Amino acid sequence: MTDFRSDTVTQPTAAMKQAMLEAPLGDDVFSDDPTINRLQELGAGMLGYEAGLFAPSGTQTNLIALMTHCQRGEEAIVGQQWHTYRWEAGGMAVLGSIQPQPLENQADGTIALTDMEAAIKPDDPHFAKTRLIVLENTTGGKVLPLSYMREVQSLAQRHGLSTHIDGARLFNAAVALADGGDPVTQARAICQSYDSVSLCLSKGLGAPVGSLLLGSKDFIARARRIRKMLGGGMRQAGVLAAAGIYALENNVRRMADDHANAQLLVQGLGRIVANHSRLEGKAAVQPAQTNIVFFDVDAEIADAFVEHLATHKVRVTSGYYKTKEKAMKRIRWVTHLDVDRADVERALDVVSAF
């Protein structure tokens, strides 16, 4: 079985498990778990923040950030396709009483600066007060350019708004932008001047659970209260934090392997489409920047194709969408530390056999 569904399916390695087993523990609600404290300090130091907060999931660290930045009835600008708006069960509205202002994403994953500026409400009691701009980097595997990150930050500063990065796959963006250089330095550059960032440890970094929220000392002190309110305060959680420490110290640079395997997959799928008449005009692979590949297949053959993959023990996720001409199924392949080059080549053989 080769599992391309998500980089969340990774299993901890033997070395990571050993680190978890040997972790010194305390009660994190009392802030005395030494392994939790070390992880929070490590993450903050790597990305240039004063403090950090460990929580069970990226959905929770994003919600904690939103509720720390915004009061009830205030507004956050988000992307239509971003996780904070589309994939987190409406938590900002339901639990935070924060109004989302969703804006259309451009083809490259950004939101047009003109759209963003136009959405900022005037200081008028008729409107929810715009308080926060949220970005997501990467978004659908696409990297937001460093120049764009700076432009959004400048816009926010001009209007007195706070900024948050959903960096669930931040280090994928950093590895891509570093292009062989130091991804930690690049990640710090991405986050420069942003008030907070959420960093997932259980995707490409390979830890079994957990995310970090990073910000100023004052911001994290307020965020800790929100985490408690949301049920995210854990006790001897250092056993989880040890996996996160191992991931940050060992699994950042190796993400380049995932990106290389994604490119191998893109190239292979492209060749198959070009060389097989059954797929002519009925399938297309999209370019990939990081570890996420999208393969669009005509609805006429999509179900049979996905069933073929499953029968041959290749797991993917997929969903239908409609163009002006026809219905298509978009199949998502995600490469990660439990998928190697041989797994990609075997999957391509399965596709070719279709």
pLDDT of amino acid 197: 98
Question: Which residue segment(s) compose the domain that 223 sits in?
Answer: 2-249
Are residues 262 and 206 located together in one domain of the fold?
no
pLDDT attached to residue 323: 83
Percent of the chain with pLDDT over 90: 96
Peptide bond into 8 cis (omega under 30): no
Confidence of residue 106 (pLDDT cuts 50, 70, 90): very high
Phi, psi at 350, each rounded to 5°: -65, -45
**Domain-ending residue, one of 249, 280, 302:** 249
Asked if the model's pLDDT at residue 163 lies above 80, the reply is yes
Q: How far apart (Å, rounded) are the C-alpha atoms in residues 204 and 337?
A: 7
DSSP characters over 205-243 = T--SS-EEEEE-HHHHHHHHHHHHHTT---SSTHHHHHH
Percent of the chain whose pLDDT exceeds 70: 100
Same domain, 175 and 320: no
How many domains are there within the chain? 2
pTM: 0.96
Q: Taking 80 as the threshold, does the pLDDT of residue 333 lie above it?
A: yes
Say whether both 61 and 104 belong to one domain. Answer: yes
pLDDT band of residue 43 (cuts 50, 70, 90) is very high
The pLDDT of 255-275, averaged and rounded, is: 97
Average pLDDT, the chain: 97
Q: pLDDT, tens digit, for every residue of 107-153?
A: 999 999 999 999 999 999 999 999 999 999 999 999 999 999 999 99
Say yes or no to pLDDT of 232 above 80.
Answer: yes
Do 243 and 346 share a domain, yes or no?
no
The pLDDT value recorded for residue 21 is 98
* pLDDT attached to residue 277: 82
- Cα–Cα dist 15/210, whole Å: 18
For 7, 228, 270, 316, the CA distances from 313, given in Å and listed in that order, are 17, 42, 21, 10
Q: Do 328 and 345 reside in the same domain of the chain?
A: yes
Looking at this protein, which amino acid is placed at residue 209?
A: V
Instruction: Provide the pLDDT confidence category of residue 96 given band limits of 50, 70 and 90.
Output: very high
235 with 213, same domain: the answer is yes
In the predicted structure, residue 322 carries a pLDDT above the cut 90 = no
Beta bridge partners of 215: 51
Task: Mark whether 161 and 49 lie in a shared domain.
Answer: yes
Residues 183 and 319 grouped into a single domain: no
How do residues 189-212 score in pLDDT, each as one tens digit?
Answer: 999 999 999 999 999 999 999 999
Q: Is the pLDDT of residue 260 over 80?
A: yes
> Which range, of 78-87, 136-145, 278-287, 344-353, averages the lowest pLDDT?
278-287
Task: Please give the pLDDT value at position 36.
Answer: 98
d(CA 331, CA 318): 4
Q: Can you tell me the distance from the alpha carbon of 259 to that of 337, in angstroms, rounded to the nearest whole number?
A: 11
Same domain, 210 and 309: no
pLDDT at residue 281, rounded to an integer: 86
Final residue before a domain boundary, out of 209, 229, 249: 249
The domain spanning residue 280 has which CATH number? 3.90.1150.10
- Pair (228, 297) in one structural domain: no
DSSP letter at 142 equals B
pLDDT for the residue numbered 112? 98
Of 52, 48, 17, the residue nearest 36 (C-alpha): 52
The reported pLDDT for the residue numbered 324 is: 80
Stretch 74-101: mean pLDDT, rounded? 97
Whether residues 170 and 266 share a domain: the answer is no
- Segments of 208-350 assigned E as strands: 211-215, 283-285, 292-298, 314-315, 317-322, 327-334
Domain boundary among 249, 264, 286: 249
Instruction: Report the alpha-carbon angle 179-182-188, nearest 5.
Output: 105
300 and 341 fall within a common domain:
yes
